A = this chain, B = another copy of it.
Amino acid sequence: MSAATIGGQNGAMPELITIDDVRSAAELLRGTAVRTPLLPCLAGDPDRPLWIKPESLQPTGAFKIRGATNALLRLTKQERERGVVTHSSGNHAQALAYAAKVTGVPAVVVVPYGTPQTKIDAARRHGAEIVQCELAVRQETAEAISRERGLPMVPPYDHPHVIAGQGTAGLEIAEDLPEVELVLVPVSGGGLLSGVATAIKALCPAAKVVGVEPELAADAQASYRSGVLDRWSAEQRGRTIADGLRSYLSELTLAHLRARVDDIVTVTEDEITSAVGWLAHNARLVAEPSGAVPLAAYLNRADELPRGRTVVVVSGGNMDAELFAKLV
């Protein structure tokens, strides 16, 4: 993972991934990630026909398996035998643990105290070694393990191999609907949006790619507009119900967004929760709030969006059972 040092911390423009990186990731993913279908949604606005890319149907319930698998399979044979480490309390940890099991790589997952036991159990069931620590030091803890045990880190988004893996979702959209005109993607750390935009702009250059985030955690929009990383406080970002969208961009993902994304729009909390119910009733999908954010923009931001054939990426479906029961 020598590319892990890419990131422009010295002020240089980070190197962007290419469509070839995405294409070769797609080869590696076969058999681990599901090739999700593109679902025509009859309840969409006839003037803006709607398709859904349901990444909630991936084995661990989110797109994260694409990037994690690509990152693992790009390691050398020696590195794969020794294993990897990551830190996450959410979809990335489960995805990495599962991808590691399928590809035969030992994995250490650092999770903060307070992570729901079901999520810890899921990662452990896939064979990952779990290390718990205080939330504030989870990155340092993972870095220490990486250093001391010589294990490469697989970050959730800030890595070209992870971004290329997530981009395979965009490659599939372009294959299934070459005449797509607008793709709406949730943005948090920006890995999925960077990867999808890379694929769409290369294969469907006339299509627009727009990121969507909660207005309560709109630091990606602020960074995208100013061109300078704007990291809101954890308290600010923590206000949104979309718990998968509380990360912030990196230099690497910001560079992709500035080069390849057409806009970033925001949605309200009410719009997000309504979109969860809409997806259950109109598309028969269980989407977590973070995964429903692009649909919330489709339903409520028509005036800010290009018209035409629209794909919304439903990025994940992992959610507390009680919360879901409340939202449908």
Contacts and interface: CB of A to CB of B under 8 A. Distances in A.
Interface of A: 34-37, 39-40, 42, 54, 56-57, 59-61, 98, 122, 125, 277, 280-281, 283-287, 317-318, 321, 324-325, 328
A59 B40 contact: yes
Given A54-B57, A59-B42, A317-B284, A34 B37 contact: yes
A71 to B, nearest CB: 20
20 contacts: A34-B37, A34-B40, A35-B37, A39-B57, A40-B59, A42-B59, A42-B122, A42-B125, A54-B57, A57-B283, A61-B284, A277-B321, A280-B321, A284-B285, A284-B317, A285-B285, A286-B286, A321-B328, A324-B328, A325-B328
Number of copies of this chain that the complex holds: 2
A117 to B, nearest CB: 15
B56 A284 contact: yes
**By CB atoms of chain B within 10 A, which of A35, A57, A61, A125 has the most?**
A57
Contacts of A325: 325, 328
A39 B60 CA distance: 11
Nearest to A60: B42
Contact of A37 (B36, B61, B122, B286): B36
Contacts of A125: 42
A176 to B, nearest CB: 10
Q: Which 9 A-B pairs rank lowest in CB-CB distance, beginning with the nearest?
A: A284-B317, A284-B286, A56-B284, A325-B328, A280-B286, A281-B321, A40-B59, A34-B37, A39-B57
A49 B115 CA distance: 28
